[in-house]
């Protein structure tokens, strides 16, 4: 996907397009994570959809649940969901920073020649 160190540096317009694609993929990953949490919240807990969305968004943002789960299934799911969300945070951060890190390293390799 990325150019090797023997290839020239990507032009700025193509680099920005690549960066925007990575950000859009990260946003899609966040939306999918929110949707899974929303559906599970509605499945396990007797709440309105807007409360479920708020609670899921609070968990995804790292602030913690707004409404504590009352059922055993809800508690177990949201425990596992919180762990997965923390991994998704790392994945989306890596997804966004990968083009920037690659460009910096690629530029440093070009300077050696």
User: What's the 3-state SS for the chain?
Assistant: CCCCCCCCCCCHHHHHHHHHHHHHHHHHHHHHHHHHHHHHHHHHCCCCHHHHHHHHHHHHHCCCCCCCCCCHHHHHHHHHHHHHHHHHHHHHHHHHHHHHHHHHHHHHHHHHC
For residue 103, what pLDDT is reported?
85
For residue 62, what pLDDT is reported?
83
pTM reported for the whole predicted model: 0.80
Domain 15-112 has CATH 1.10.287.70: yes
For residue 23, what pLDDT is reported?
95
Show me where the domains of the chain are located. 15-112
For residue 108, what pLDDT is reported?
79
For residue 29, what pLDDT is reported?
93
Q: Show the low-confidence residues of the chain (pLDDT under 70).
A: 110-113
pLDDT one-digit tens code per residue, 28-44: 999 999 999 999 999 99
């Amino acid at each position: 996907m990325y150019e090797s160190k023997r290839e020239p540096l990507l032009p700025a317009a193509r680099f920005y397009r690549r960066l925007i694609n990575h950000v859009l993929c990260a946003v899609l990953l966040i939306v999918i994570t929110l949707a899974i949490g929303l559906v599970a919240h509605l499945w396990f807990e007797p709440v309105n959809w807007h409360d479920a969305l708020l609670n899921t968004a609070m968990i995804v943002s790292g602030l913690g649940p707004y409404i504590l789960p009352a059922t055993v299934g809800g508690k177990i799911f949201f425990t596992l969901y919180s762990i997965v969300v923390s991994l998704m945070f790392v994945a989306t951060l890596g997804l966004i920073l990968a083009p920037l890190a690659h460009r910096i390293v690629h530029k440093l390799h070009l300077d050696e020649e």
